[in-house]
Amino acid sequence: SQTIHQWPATLVQPVGSPLSLECTVEGTSNPNLYWYRQAAGRGLQLLFYSVGIGQISSEVPQNLSASRPQDRQFILSSKKLLLSDSGFYLCAWSVRHETQYFGPGTRLLVL
């Protein structure tokens, strides 16, 4: 069966510091991968998605970036965090355009 991992689970970072969040999927090949952000008490906003290694599509212009160095690895990065980057970051996977399944998420607090 398929499993999706995210780390770290929680992170507290100062404003202006860099960020790297990692997502990996097991048990499937060539998945679509997605990064969402959920602000406190709000809905989910799609940030990036990838249909293959090195292929990244951005949905929202911001100071975040994403990379997919391996088939089942998706990384979310920032060079300088802003206060507004705080939130719950969720990675998701799917087989092509089928159902999306979410990872456990990373809670990021920028101080």
Partner 1 sequence: GENVEQHPSTLSVQEGDSAVIKCTYSDSASNYFPWYKQELGKRPQLIIDIRSNVGEKKDQRIAVTLNKTAKHFSLHITETQPEDSAVYFCAASPVSGSARQLTFGSGTQLTVLP
The enclosing H or E element of 111 equals none
CA–CA separation, 27 and 21 (whole Å) = 21
CA–CA separation, 54 and 31 (whole Å) = 13
Where in 82-111 is the site for partner 1 (CB under 8 A)?
90, 94, 96-97, 99-105
Binding pattern to partner 1, positions 19-58, x when CB under 8 A? Answer: -------------x-x-------xxxxx--x-x-----x-
Per-residue DSSP letter, 98: S
Binding site for partner 1 (CB under 8 A): 32, 34, 42-46, 49, 51, 57, 59, 90, 94, 96-97, 99-105
